Amino acid sequence: MLFRLLFGAALALTVAAQNAAAQVEVANLREDVRGLVQRVGELSLRVEQLELENSELRRKSKGGARAYATVAQLNEAVSDLNRTVKSAVTSSQDETLLIVRTQLEKLGKQTNTALESLAKSQAVRPIPAPVTPADAPPKEGASYLVQKGDTLALIAKKTGVKQQDIVSANKISDPSLIKVGQTLIIPSGK
């Protein structure tokens, strides 16, 4: 191919002498030939470089063949790893169960102590005397059903009766202990 290009270039030179336009063509062909010669040289260098790299890779692959693990070796390593992980999980579960057991025992002791304390405080409280007809709330007045959010002060304001009169009429020992659904007697005429 190079020979053809050179031959074409020589032929173009002879024609160029006859024709001025042909001289421009010959100059272009010379430049093309020079570029091709330079490119061929670059490609030759690259081929040499690739051949060197290829031989280096072959040399490394022969030495590196011993660095690869077999499937059996990989399977054994995975089995060892699985055994290690299972052992660690079992150990972790045992530790967690021990911690939970200890905390539950502490909670149980605290709960028992609190219940005993509550039972002792209940034993000390006086038992209220049974309601006798003489102690029964007065039947006079209107009845009022305690609603959610009601307090004695609010009920007194709603009904226009003094709070103390409601407490007395219903014999309430602790005004903060009224309950939703409880019926109170609202005295009249006081």
CATH number assigned to the domain comprising residue 152: 3.10.350.10
Residue 161: inside a domain? yes
Please state, in angstroms and rounded to a whole number, the distance separating the CA atoms of residues 171 and 163.
Answer: 12
Range of the domain at 157: 142-186
Indicate whether 149 and 180 sit together in one domain. Answer: yes
Same domain for 99 and 51, yes or no, is no
Residue 98 lies in a domain: yes
Domains contained in the chain, number: 3
Band of pLDDT at residue 3, cut at 50, 70 and 90: confident
168 pLDDT above the threshold of 60:
yes
Domain boundary among the residues 63, 91, 114 is at 63
Rounded CA-CA distance 39/1 in Å is 14
Do 80 and 57 sit in the same domain of this protein? no
Residue 136 counted as domain residue:
no
Buried b (16+ CB within 10 A) or exposed e, 89-108: eeeeeeeeeeeeeeeeeeee
Q: Is residue 137 in a domain?
A: no
What band does 176 get if pLDDT is binned at 50, 70 and 90?
confident
| 13 plus 55 within the same structural domain | yes
Query: Would you say residue 131 lies in a domain?
Result: no
Last residue of a domain, one of 10, 39, 63: 63
Q: What is the CA 118 to chain-centroid distance, rounded? A: 43
- Backbone torsions φ then ψ of 50, nearest 5 degrees: -65, -35
Asked if residue 57 and residue 6 are part of one domain, the reply reads yes
Asked whether residue 78 falls in the same domain as residue 115, the answer is yes
Question: Looking at the domain assignment, is residue 15 inside a domain?
Answer: yes
Q: pTM of this prediction?
A: 0.29
What pLDDT, on a 0 to 100 scale, did the predictor assign at position 132?
47
